[in-house]
A and B are shown apart, each in its own frame.
Chain A
């Protein structure tokens, strides 16, 4: 018996299952396992790695890393326009391993944006968002919660990006709040509400700080918890409907009567095994984030200079597609010119989100498609989704590599002319 087993038997579980069937009681017996779903709650396929790739688990782990590293940074960061930059600089260069904490926070944040996107794609390609036929499967509720989380994630990353009050953060904030201002009629009021005045100053930084460290993490925690709970209640990763039919067939052949003795020949999925798997995924995610944090450095740009933007002034990579949109979607209708900030920054992303949110209600593929990767009946949906996703990814790469000073197009191998 290995050290881990001995330790876990004495300290973690204090109880030793004697058989596979006995082990299903783990959730009642072990505090640490009480939230893990059993075979009774969710379908077996839900715990399959090749179905879900554990993307949600990865995200939850990244979020915990972010909370921890965020807390560590809060002990050093000063949310003041005069000192924010210098406190981040100290964090980077003076505080022991400050660079590592900051790096880990950044990598985890960026990974979280990437994985949120992957997680959403997984759900789309398996059409796990569909409302099941059973009354207790509500895939669409979790899909909507997921969309909320998909918005919250970059919102966290964006507000965090502003906090160092360096050039990229400051101008990112300028552009972001002006996109808000480009909203017709209520735009001005909204911007004033967010920045607490008419110019970016201390009030704005304080607000962004509060939003970044309190409001958004709280909302995140709330919705993540709900997302988990809902998933368990829905019977797992939306393969329930299909599995239900299998189960009925299985029950009929296995001769299981409702007498309390389980005569099904396959043993139920063991919660402890599932716990172990979760642990492995968590450790692997953490290790990956740490490794990236060691390999990538995240330089600070110059301190914020309100009269001179960097040229080119680029948004964080996950917003670059929107930056390209706001730069090229100013349209003229008759004598009116509509600011690209509104079209590319509000209308297009809003429409994309809206169509995502409406997916469950307009997807009329058969129930057999629920929980199946790339089901042939959903070919059209999958192609449209892939096209939009690819367009966004391509726009990000295009803007990252091909936009030079004054937003002029350059090939990636061309050198940029020197400007001011």
Chain B
């Protein structure tokens, strides 16, 4: 049985008798043969299933097939249908998607405030003091105070402060400074000078310094993490 061909599918009207049946293929069931075709007529539609190696399934409504072959342009009604379909269901789906994404950005963060008190002035001794709770160093030099973040600018590990056995002079951005301590990061070996400037390792930028103040109510030191200042910033407090 080798009656096989798709070239001449007739296009009958619904209810009319079929005139020609030459889209009808029925090859054989051998394992070696690649395709078996059945054509079934149900009312006005032709359904052709081509099974086998190709794995293709074709379902055709005969009127649609007719229309597609005879008209090259899209009907206005079809276009409007498509647009309204997209508008309605796309709108609904898009709105839902927007809501889902939006829900992942909370409106309120229950996180520590950016401005916080870090204790009384006399709690601090000369040199860097690590305030673990806020991951900050409060650095006291006589009556001058400033603060440095302890978050490594490379990938966010915590830098530790290393006291040098004797002060040394280093050149930072063309300026000579004397440093008594340094900051080292354990994660990938970045090292920072006493003023927070990186000199070795992968850290790309200096440890940020933040503005400080004295709180008017209880005279505690205040760090304002929302205000970054440059490394020369000092808060002077005369006691």
Contacts and interface: CB of A to CB of B under 8 A. Distances in A.
B75 interface: no
Contacts of B167: none
A258 interface: yes
Given A174-B157, A308-B158, A337-B204, A259 B186 contact: no
B31 A268 contact: yes
Contacts of B204: 330, 337-340
Interface string B63-89: 000000000000000000000000000
Nearest to A174: B156
B134 to A, nearest CB: 9
Contacts of B30: 258-262
Contacts, number: 124
A312 interface: yes
Nearest to B157: A309
B6 interface: no
A142 to B, nearest CB: 15
Contacts of B119: none
A419 B105 CA distance: 40
A407 interface: yes
A225 interface: no
Contacts of B54: 136
Most interface-central of B30, B201, B204 (chain A CB within 10 A): B204
Given A261-B30, A268-B31, A406 B105 contact: no
Main secondary structure of the interface of B (DSSP, over half): loop
A316 interface: no
Main secondary structure of the interface of A (DSSP, over half): loop
Nearest to A314: B187
B96 interface: no
Contact of B205 (A178, A327, A337): A337
A226 B202 CA distance: 42
Interface in A148-182: 171, 174-175, 177-179, 181-182
B184 interface: yes
A329 B201 CA distance: 9
Contact of B33 (A258, A264, A308, A330): A258
Interface stretch (A6-14, A51-59, A192-200, A354-362): A192-200
Nearest to A179: B155
A289 to B, nearest CB: 32
Interface residues of A, number: 55
Contacts of A337: 204-205
Interface in A244-286: 251, 256, 258-262, 264, 268
A343 to B, nearest CB: 9
B188 A408 contact: no
Contact of A196 (B106, B150, B157, B188): B106
Nearest to A134: B53
B228 to A, nearest CB: 15
Nearest to A191: B156
A405 B186 contact: yes
A203 B130 CA distance: 27
B203 interface: yes
A258 B109 contact: no
B32 interface: yes
A18 interface: no
A312 B105 contact: no
A45 interface: no
Interface string A307-330: 111111100000000010011111
23 contacts: A24-B31, A40-B53, A174-B156, A175-B187, A178-B154, A193-B104, A197-B111, A198-B111, A199-B112, A203-B106, A251-B32, A256-B32, A264-B32, A268-B31, A307-B130, A309-B186, A309-B187, A328-B202, A329-B202, A339-B155, A340-B154, A340-B188, A340-B204
Interface of A: 24, 39-40, 136, 171, 174-175, 177-179, 181-182, 192-193, 196-199, 201, 203, 233, 251, 256, 258-262, 264, 268, 306-313, 323, 326-330, 337-341, 405-408, 419-420
The 5 closest A-B pairs by CB, nearest first: A407-B189, A327-B188, A311-B186, A330-B202, A340-B202
Given A178-B156, A307-B132, A313-B157, 17 more contacts: A136-B54, A175-B155, A182-B155, A196-B104, A196-B106, A258-B30, A262-B31, A309-B158, A310-B186, A313-B187, A327-B187, A327-B189, A327-B201, A341-B154, A405-B186, A407-B188, A419-B186
